[in-house]
Amino acid sequence: MFRGFSLETQMIKQITVEPNGGWFRYKSETPIDPGTYFQVPGRPSQQQRKALSATAATDPNGRFVWLAPAEPWVQRLMIGKLTPQPWRFPLAVDWAAMRVDPDKLRAWQRQFLSDAFTCVARGFPYHRAGVVTLGGGKTLAGLALCQLGEVAVVAASTYLHSTWREEAAKWNMECPILSTYESIHKAPDPDVLIIDESLALKNPDSLRHRRVAEKAKRASIVVGFTGTPTSGVGPLDWRWLRVIEPGCVPAGDTAWRFLFGSDTQLVEVVPGRNAYQTSKWKSREIAEFVEPFVYSADTSRLLDELPEIEYRTVAVPQPADWTLVAAGGATTTTASKRVAQCRQISDGFVVDDGKQVVRVAHTPKLDAVEEWVDALGEPVIIYAAWTGTLDLLAERLAKHNPAMIRGDTGDPGAEITRFKSGLTNVLLANARYSSGMNLQERCRIVAFVSWSLNPTDRQQAIGRVYRPGQKHGVQIVDFVAENTLDARTLELIQGHQQLTAEQVEALLERSLKC
HEC assignment per residue over 265-278? CEEECCCCCCCEEE
Q: What is the CA radius of gyration of the chain?
A: 26
What is the predicted pLDDT for the residue at 81?
A: 45
Count other C-beta atoms under 10 Å from residue 328's C-beta: 15
Residue predicted with more confidence, 271 or 449: 449
Count other C-beta atoms under 10 Å from residue 438's C-beta: 21
Burial profile 144-155: b = 16 or more Cβ within 10 angstroms, e = fewer: bbbbbbeebbbb
Can you tell me the distance from the alpha carbon of 199 to that of 197, in angstroms, rounded to the nearest whole number?
Answer: 5
Ordered by where they begin, the domains of the chain are: 5-82 (no CATH), 92-302 (3.40.50.10810), 306-513 (3.40.50.300)
Residues with Cβ within 8 Å of residue 183, at least 6 apart in sequence: none
Residues with Cβ within 8 Å of residue 468, at least 6 apart in sequence: 106, 135, 136, 137, 302, 305, 306, 440
What mean pLDDT is predicted for residues 283-303?
A: 73
Specify the pairing of strand 5-6 against strand 92-93. Answer: antiparallel
Find, among 445, 405, 441, 438, the residue nearest to 422 by Cα: 441
Return the minimum-mean-pLDDT range out of 100-104, 319-323, 396-400.
Answer: 100-104
- Name the most confidently modeled range: 4-13, 62-71, 128-137, 162-171: 162-171
Residue-wise pLDDT for 414-427, tens only, equals: 898 899 999 999 99
Specify the pairing of strand 192-195 against strand 221-226. Answer: parallel
CB 244 within 8 A of CB 195: yes
What is this structure's pTM?
A: 0.74
Return the minimum-mean-pLDDT range out of 174-188, 221-235, 255-269, 496-510.
Answer: 255-269
pLDDT over 80 (residue 13) = no
What is the predicted pLDDT for the residue at 86?
A: 45
Can you tell me the distance from the alpha carbon of 41 to that of 148, in angstroms, rounded to the nearest whole number?
Answer: 33
CB 215 within 8 A of CB 184: yes
Grade residue 310 by pLDDT with cuts at 50, 70 and 90: very high
Return the minimum-mean-pLDDT range out of 92-96, 146-150, 331-335, 472-476.
Answer: 92-96
The length of the chain in residues reads 514
Find, among 58, 231, 188, the residue nearest to 130 by Cα: 58
> Could you give the C-alpha distances from 277 to 110, 125, 265, 273, in angstroms and in order?
39, 40, 9, 12
Residue-wise pLDDT for 345-390, tens only, equals: 999 999 999 999 999 888 899 999 999 999 999 999 999 999 999 9
What is the predicted pLDDT for the residue at 510?
A: 82
Grade residue 7 by pLDDT with cuts at 50, 70 and 90: very low
Return the minimum-mean-pLDDT range out of 211-220, 403-412, 488-497, 505-514.
Answer: 505-514
CB 125 within 8 A of CB 45: no
Omega of the bond leading into 19 within 30 degrees of 0 (cis): no
Residue predicted with more confidence, 437 or 55: 437
What is the predicted pLDDT for the residue at 259?
A: 66
Residue-wise pLDDT for 38-94, tens only, equals: 666 666 666 666 666 666 665 555 555 666 666 544 444 444 444 444 444 446 777
Q: Supply the DSSP symbol for 497.
A: T
Helix (H, G, I), strand (E, B) or coil at 36: coil
Burial profile 264-285: b = 16 or more Cβ within 10 angstroms, e = fewer: beeeebbeebebbbbeebbeee
Mean pLDDT for the chain overall: 79
Can you tell me the distance from the alpha carbon of 240 to that of 202, in angstroms, rounded to the nearest whole number?
Answer: 4
Residue-wise pLDDT for 461-486, tens only, equals: 998 899 888 889 999 999 999 999 99
Return the minimum-mean-pLDDT range out of 229-243, 266-280, 328-342.
Answer: 266-280
What one-letter code names the amino acid at 187? A
Q: Supply the DSSP symbol for 404.
A: E
Find, among 69, 103, 81, the residue nearest to 24 by Cα: 81
Can you tell me the distance from the alpha carbon of 506 to that of 339, in angstroms, rounded to the nearest whole number?
Answer: 9
Question: End-to-end distance of the chain based on CA atoms, in angstroms?
Answer: 64
